[in-house]
Amino acid sequence: MPRFAANLSMMFNEVPFLDRFDLAAKAGFQAVEFMFPYAFSAKEIRTRLDSNGLALVLHNLPAGDWEAGERGIACQPEKAAQFREGVAKAIDYAGALGVKQLNCLAGKAPDGVSADALRATFLENLRFAADQLRGAGLDLLIEPVNTFDIPGFYLNRPVQAVALLEELDLPNAFLQYDLYHTQRMQGELASTLTKYLPLIRHVQIADNPGRNEPGTGEINYPFLFALLDRVGYTGWVGCEYKPATTTEAGLGWLHAFA
């Protein structure tokens, strides 16, 4: 079975963020991920990781003003300077926290900007980020996100992400493949996982509908977990789902498969 990492932005949110590390370790997780570390000092987070024997496998680059509705700024021409500042901040945190890969959220396409300008901006920002991350020994990931949950999200299908990665042709730029987002946009999970495996460095899971834990919806996770083993995926699988009730009550799927 794959190796599972608890997403602490969504799981164990019955308690404050810094207390979630303890609960993840007690539940049997050996690794965690989360969206953003920036509201806390790297020292605070590192202490929680070390005291629980946890590895951090992923966090995102700064994504603009999340509370105001921004979901990334990498495709927005007017935010180029802010994006570059965020890359430097993310690298500092990554070095302190021991994470080896950072995810870049493209963001929502702003009104009045042409498709060509959006694509050119995103590519330019990805080149910059990948170059800076490579100097720090880090990989850059990009993640397609469904436009039902986030209307207007620029990067929304794996085929679009793969085309961009192939054009970039950079040694440290890869795909973050979220099964939930892909199911909502196109389905074909087994075939796209297999087809794009050489570019996939991180997988995330949630069931559909509801974005809850595996086993609550239509996605055949026993089959897909076996497929990940069969095709030779060796990365982590991030549990980026919203527990249907409490986190611990919904962990039966993990005890069955881990």
**Side chain identity at residue 156, one-letter code:** N
Mark whether 33 is an active-site residue.
no
Which residue among the candidates 33, 44, 67, 143 is catalytic per the annotation? 143
Task: Give the contacts of 3 (CB within 8 A, at least 6 positions apart).
Answer: 30, 31, 235, 236, 237
Q: Given its phi and psi angles, is residue 240 left (phi above 0), alpha (psi -120 to 50 degrees) or beta?
A: beta
Which residue among the candidates 14, 85, 240, 248 is catalytic per the annotation? 240
Helix H, strand E, coil C: the string for the chain is: CCEEEEECCCCCCCCCHHHHHHHHHHCCCCEEECCCCCCCCHHHHHHHHHHCCCEEEEEECCCCCHHHCCCECCCCHHHHHHHHHHHHHHHHHHHHHCCCEEEECECECCCCCCHHHHHHHHHHHHHHHHHHHHHCCCEEEECCCCCCCCCCECCCCHHHHHHHHHHHCCCCEEEEEEHHHHHHHCCCHHHHHHHHHHHEEEEEECCCCCCCCCCCCCCCHHHHHHHHHHHCCCCEEEECCCCCCCCHHHCHHHHHHC
Mark whether 14 is an active-site residue.
no
**Distances in whole angstroms, Cα of residue 164 to Cα of each of 80, 143, 151, 161, 176:** 18, 12, 21, 5, 13
For the annotated catalytic residues, the residue numbers are 143, 240
